[in-house]
Each structure stands twice: as C-alpha cells, then as structure tokens.
Structure 1
Amino acid sequence: MNFTNFLPLPLQQTDMQLLETHKVPLLKTPIRLQEYGVGIFATLPTKSGLKKAIKNNLIFVNGKPATTALFIKGNETIELFQTEDNTNKKHFHFPLEVLFEDDYLAIVYKPAGILVSGNSFATMDNTLTQNLQKSSLPNATRPRPVHRLDYPTSGLLLIGKTTESIIALNKLFEQKKIQKTYFAICIGKMKQNGEIDLPIDDKSARFSKI
C-alpha cells in the first residue's frame, strides 16, 4: 500500500511548486486572510479562487498551511503553491463551439445541462484545455471561465487565457461594464407584447416580450 497520500502536508511540500510570494506590510487593523488575500497574487485574482487554494492547502503563511479563519496582522510572508505534477490529471473530453479566440481570451458556447465549474468532473472548466490553443504570451495561464452560467442555461461563456486578461475581465464584471442578455422560452398564452420589471433576489430584472 502506498502511504504517500496519508503523510502530513508539510512533508509533501516538495511535491509543490512555489508560484508567488507576498510580503504583508504592517497593518493598522488585523484582517482575515480570505479578505486580505484577494488580488495579492496575479495568478489568483478572485475571492472564490483564493478560498479554493486555501482549502486545497496551496497557500502558506510563514511556512504553515493557511486557513480562511486566519487573521493577518502584518509582516507575514504569504506563499502560493501549485502541484508540480499535473500530467495525470484527467480531462473532460467534450467538443465545444469556439466563436472567438486569440492569445488573450476566448468566447465559447456553453450548452444547457453542463456546469461551468465546480467539484464535478463534467464541467466546462475541465474541457477548455482540450478545445482552446495555449496562449503564446509570457503571462499565459490555463484557460479559465471569468463568469458563470447556470446549469440549465445555454449561452456565451467568456474565457481568460492570460493572468492579466483574467484580472481585467473580472474587474469589468465587478464594475458591471459587461451586460448579459437572456432569452426565455415561455409556455402558455401571452399578450402580444409587454414588459415585466420586477426584482429577482433583490436584483433589478426586466423581461420584455418581443
């Protein structure tokens, strides 16, 4: 039996590759790592990505695995690792319709009935490397979706292919400079035309019949 997987994480650190290091300046007020760490690493621009990296024991603070409950006070050294050997990682082979692609980003069509990302194997995220060309730019990274579409929803999915493009696209979504338009298919008799302007989950929503 191979007991390697049962070793404590610090003994397995040689199996990981250091990506980035961040030195924390002196802080006036302590702040949780899950809040402070957003954006400090170029290859980890989102809060969800940070939480996932912490959960997977890929972030160390002063040489020890970090937790989301850890408070950062100042002068700490925060390190981001990645596993070195990804050669055995399984890829989800699923042909995608690629509508646009260059070295910075891509636009692909997401069919209904497939997750964008998550713990499942059959996700859009797991099939991107099979369908897209690797960027030739020096800051190239694994293609990543920069937003989500619900499981039953089909539509266009925006993919970042470099660290800078992923950060820039995320900021555009945060600043609401990218708009999504949804088309709904309704069953039943409806008026010839009309509009519904009511909030959904406390968010502004408007439906127009065309």
Structure 2
Amino acid sequence: METEEQTPSAFLDIATNLLAILLILTLFALAAPRQFTEGASQLPARPSTGLRFVAPQRERFPPFSRFYVVLADRVTVWDQEAVVAALAAAPHTHSGTTRQGRFDWQPEWLVTRDIDGFQLRFWFDRDALLSQSTPWGVEQTERLVDELAQDAARNRIAPVFIVYPDGLETFVPIYERLQARGQRFRWFTQRPDEPLLIGRHVAQFTHYSLYW
C-alpha cells in the first residue's frame, strides 16, 4: 500500500513519461512532412547509357555459319564447297588446293560411336583473294549488311568474319552497321602466317553448354 509520501513521486513519474511520449510524437509529426517533401523533390533515376552485359544466347540448334575473309580493302566469302569438292575428288590424299588457297584435312581415327570428328587447316592465298575480289567501299558494306539480314531470316545463316591485321579498318564499318541493326555475327583475328582452323568435335553435340 502506497503512503502519502510516495503518491506525489508516482504522479511525477507518470507526468514525465507522458511528456516524453508527447515530445516523441511531436518530433515524428514534424519530421514526416519534411521527408515526404525531400523524397518528392528528388529527380527520378535516369536510364544508364553505358554498355550492358549481354549473355550469349543458348540454343539447341545454332545458326549455320558463313565465313568471310577481311583483308585490306577486300571482303571475300570463303568457298567451303570448293574444299568439299576437292576432298570428294581425292578422298585419300587428305590435302589439296582451291582457287583461294590450300588445305590439309585431318580425319579422326575410326571410333565406336556414330559421331566422328575432324580438323581442317586452310592457308589462304592472299594474292589470289586480292585478284578475285573488287575494292571495298561504303556501298558494298550496306549491300552486305542487307544480304546478311536476308540470309538470317530465310536460311538461318550468320556470318563469321576472319579479319587479318591489315583488314581491321575495312571491318570497322561492317562491325558498326551490324551492331546498329542488331544482327548476329562473330569475328576473329587471323595471323597472316597461320592457317584457319575449323573442325567438328563430339563435344559440340553432347554438351549443351556450348554457345554460338
């Protein structure tokens, strides 16, 4: 049971607590409109114009490839059918020539599976490529970009550019136009003293993680 001396002290404690609660509520009431005003006055976030990371497209059936050789002021399609015809004419030689260069075919030894592999090395004849093609310009670039768009839509063919060191300046406008139109393509640099290597491996058919 409380005494008369304890009663004033209890009332003082209650009054102090109520005053503290009122002060806290007052501070919240004053701070809330300020935060709302500051939040409303901030400018909305602008979209970034920087480069975005684009993940490679995963496809079970990638597009067919058509190879283009890029030299100084020249862009030439690599005639792969000529290589196939030369191999069919002399299947046991494993090497030969075409009008664009010479090749060496290395088949895989017979294995107990229904998918075989091979590797083909092709040395381009620079003088032959220069003599068989015309000088490259802006009109040729626009025509090529249009043709590549039609090939992609009709036949699901995507270009692969083999760019020699002296062909980088020729390739830059092609690269920019293809990027601007959103077309799919690949490109690689090629040393003049090294052959182009292409092949078929079992992993290309058994590993879904491969990208085009």
For Structure 1 versus Structure 2, the TM-score category normalised by the shorter chain is: under 0.3
Give TM-score scaled by structure 1 length: 0.20
Higher helix share: 2
Higher strand share: 1
Say which one has the larger Rg.
2
Give TM-score scaled by structure 2 length: 0.20
